[in-house]
Structures are given as C-alpha cells and as structure tokens.
A = this chain, B = another copy of it.
Amino acid sequence: MNLEHALSDLEHLDFDLFGKDFLLTTDKSESDLRAVLGLAAILQEMHRLNLDTRCFSSGIAVSIFRDQSTRTRFSFASAVNLLGLALQEFDEKKSQVAHGETVRETANMISFLCETIGIRDDMFIGKGHSYMLEVGAALDDGFARGVLHQRPAIVNLQCDIDHPTQAMADLRHLQDTFGSLSALRGKKIAMSWAYSPSYGKPLSVPQGIITLMTRFGMHVVLAHPKGYDLLPDTLTAARKFAKASGGKFEMVDSMDEAFRDADVVYPKSWAPFSVMEERTRLVEKGDDEGLKKLEKRCLQQNAKFADWECTEARMKLTREGRALYMHCLPADISGVSCKQGEVAASVFERYRIPTYQEASHKPFVIAAMILAARFRDPALLLRQYLRAGRRRAGALA
C-alpha cells in the first residue's frame, strides 16, 4: 500500500474521534469508522516496514477483563506497546474493588498516569455497556475537576451490545479480501447462528456484525433458529443502517437460505438473549443451582439444532461455492475441538490461515482507536513518524 496516499485520504476525512471513547460502532459516523480503518491500515503497514510508531514515550494502559480472553488480551497488549504505552492489567481479584470501592473511585485511582483503558465486560445483559459509561463519566468528572492530567480513552474490548474491535477487524479483513470498502456494496454476508456444545456465548459478535456491515451497503442476512434472538435495538439499527447505505438487512431461520449465493459466511454460536437475561438474574442472586439447571436446559435446546453446522455441502450453496468463511476464533470445529460443532474440519482447515489474517487486524484496529481518541491530528502525527523513519527493530542499524 501507498502510505502517502493513505495519509492524505485520512486528512480529507472529517471525523470526530478526539477525546471520545470507542464503545459502540453505532455511535460513530461513517467517517469515524473510515478514519479508524485508515489509521489501522497505516499502523499495520508501518509495522510491516519495521518503523517506530511510539506516539507515547511513557504512560500506562489499563485493561479490565471481566471475562477470559486470549486474542483480545494480546491484541490490546500489542496495540498499546506499538504506541509506547505500558500495560497494567487491573485484576479485580488482586484489587480492592470487591471491598466496597465504587467504580468512580477506582476509575480515577487507576488513571493518574493512564492514557487508555480497555474493558471487556460481556457476560451480563444490560451491564457491560452501562459499566463502561459509568467508568467514562467518572473519568470525565476526574479530568474536569483536575484530578487527572489527561482523560484516558476507553476502548470497548467486548460488551453485552457490541464487540467493536472484532467487528472493525472483520471489516478490515473484508476490505483486504475484496480490495476496498466500496467493493463490499451489494455483497451478501450471512451472519448465521451455528451449533456448539458450549453455552452462554455472548451475542456481541453477531450484533456487532449486523450493525457494522449494513453501513457499507452490504446485503446482511441474519440467520438463527427460533429463540436465538439478538437484542431488539441492534436489529432496529441494522435495518436503519441498511436503508441509509443502500444495503439490505434480512432475517431468516434457515442456514441454507442464508448461505445461498453468499459472498461471505460467518457461522457462529451464541446464546439466546432471553437465556443471557435469565443468566444475569441468577448470577445476581448467586443461584448456582438455577445456573446449572439453566445451562442444562440451554444445552438441550442447542442440541435440537445440531444440524446448524457449516458443512462442505452448505459451502457449496454459496456464490460459486467459494464464499469467504469468517470467524472471531476460537471456532468449535467438528471432530477437532469438539465432537460436533460450528464448522466442519475440512471447511475450517481451508480457511484457517484467512481466519488468522482476520484476527491479525485487531491489534492495529485497537491502536487506531486509541490514537484517534488521544490525538487531535493522528494523520499528521503518523506522517511525522513516517518522515522520521526510525526503525522499530534494530533501532540503530
């Protein structure tokens, strides 16, 4: 890619990300999203060219993971390192949050020298996003009243509503695969539920995909068995965005129908919205018995739809039988990671490397979100780093 062109494209975009958190793609303008994609591509190319992009000479980045994670944890760690920040994980077990500290207090206590806070809180419906808003309000207060020298930017590393770093990395992957964003217009993407022997998988990925891809004129088809509904608001948003972008959003209850002539398929398991809601209530009540029962019931229900698998036969239904297979990983691969799961082993193996490439965009997407939130003119800043041309590895060589 041509970095100079990419930088001037960026300079011609009218985006408004400075001083703002990145919580939901639905809150962002199309220009905002294009700016993040552009910055991510530039950072990725500069990394490939072994150029130093540390825009901070010191400062810490805090991550708060309320759910386990490998790739997002490492993506965030890598992103902040790329910008020159040091990661400090906030571990509630080690901390005193459990001991009556309020969120607003903790938010300030960890932020005196903090530039960004990455938060994953995806397990409880109605909680994750509001927790992030609460942290943000506390940071605004602390910054406005002189407690903090700088306002750390919050990056949503997955909440109950959206998984923006994943969805944006997925969009980068589509952009790379089909050549450009405009090439995505009219392309059909099937976001389909798939069977998994596990339970309680978050809804944020399918919700993130339908609300983001509809903005770029794609034909988005959401498929799932009855009872596996997503948050109503995300469906409304997807419809609205499709209308505005000249794309299309439809819902079907058949994986075959979704796959027919699809250019892209994204078969992934998730829990029904209603189950996640009940789960939230039971966790709040500390009702372990109820949770066991719920899991059992949920797994039994899943089992009814064990045929919702991304098989070779279904792949044949897609455009020329050669749709792009996508997954946020880890996938439940039939006969590999489980007896029967989301995808046939042969299909996954054929797209294994592409799914790694899909994931490889995430660190740069996160770094782009931080850069755009913390610097008024990230394009100018990166242009200066490009001119400086300092090596990242073999710095003096």
A residues with CB within 8 A of B: 47-48, 52-60, 62, 65, 68-71, 73-75, 77-78, 81-82, 84, 86-88, 90, 94-97, 99-102, 105-106, 108-110, 112-115, 141-142, 145-150, 198, 329-330, 332-333, 336-338, 352-353, 356-357, 359-360, 362-363, 374-375, 380-381, 384-385, 388, 390-397
CB-nearest residue of chain B to A147: B356
Task: Return the 9 tightest CB-CB contacts between A and B, nearest first.
Answer: A100-B337, A78-B113, A70-B95, A384-B396, A147-B356, A101-B330, A71-B109, A52-B57, A77-B88
Q: How far is the CB of A112 from chain B (nearest CB, A)?
A: 5
Instruction: Give me 12 other A-B pairs in contact (C-beta within 8 A), A145-B353, A148-B360 excluded.
Output: A57-B390, A57-B393, A58-B81, A65-B94, A68-B94, A70-B106, A81-B113, A100-B333, A102-B337, A109-B329, A109-B359, A147-B353
**Which of B57, B96, B109, B336 is in CB contact (< 8 Å) with A54?**
B57
Q: Which has the most chain B C-beta neighbours within 10 Å: A68, A145, A396? A: A396
Q: How far is the CB of A103 from chain B (nearest CB, A)?
A: 12
Q: How far is the CB of A388 from chain B (nearest CB, A)?
A: 6
**Which of B81, B357, B390 is in CB contact (< 8 Å) with A147?**
B357
In the bound complex, residues from chain B placing their C-beta under 8 Å from that of A78 are 60, 88, 112-114
Contacts A112-B360, A363-B113, A397-B380 given; does A69 touch B96 at CB 8 Å:
yes
CB-nearest residue of chain B to A336: B102
In the bound complex, residues from chain B placing their C-beta under 8 Å from that of A390 are 57
CA–CA, A62 and B59, complex, Å: 18
CB-nearest residue of chain B to A110: B74
In the bound complex, residues from chain B placing their C-beta under 8 Å from that of A101 are 70, 329-330, 337
Q: Is the CB of B70 within 8 A of A109?
A: yes
**Which of B55, B148, B329, B397 is in CB contact (< 8 Å) with A393?**
B55
Q: How far is the CB of A389 from chain B (nearest CB, A)?
A: 11
CA–CA, A147 and B99, complex, Å: 42
CB-nearest residue of chain B to A138: B356
In the bound complex, residues from chain B placing their C-beta under 8 Å from that of A47 are 113, 149
Q: Which has the most chain B C-beta neighbours within 10 Å: A56, A69, A336? A: A56
CA–CA, A90 and B89, complex, Å: 13
**Which of B60, B84, B397 is in CB contact (< 8 Å) with A381?**
B397
11 intermolecular pairs with C-beta atoms under 8 Å apart: A55-B395, A57-B395, A69-B95, A70-B95, A75-B112, A86-B87, A100-B332, A100-B338, A101-B330, A375-B393, A375-B394
CA–CA, A381 and B88, complex, Å: 27
CB-nearest residue of chain B to A362: B112
Q: How far is the CB of A371 from chain B (nearest CB, A)?
A: 10
CA–CA, A38 and B388, complex, Å: 33
Q: How far is the CB of A274 from chain B (nearest CB, A)?
A: 24
CA–CA, A112 and B363, complex, Å: 8
Q: Is the CB of A58 within 8 A of B69?
A: no
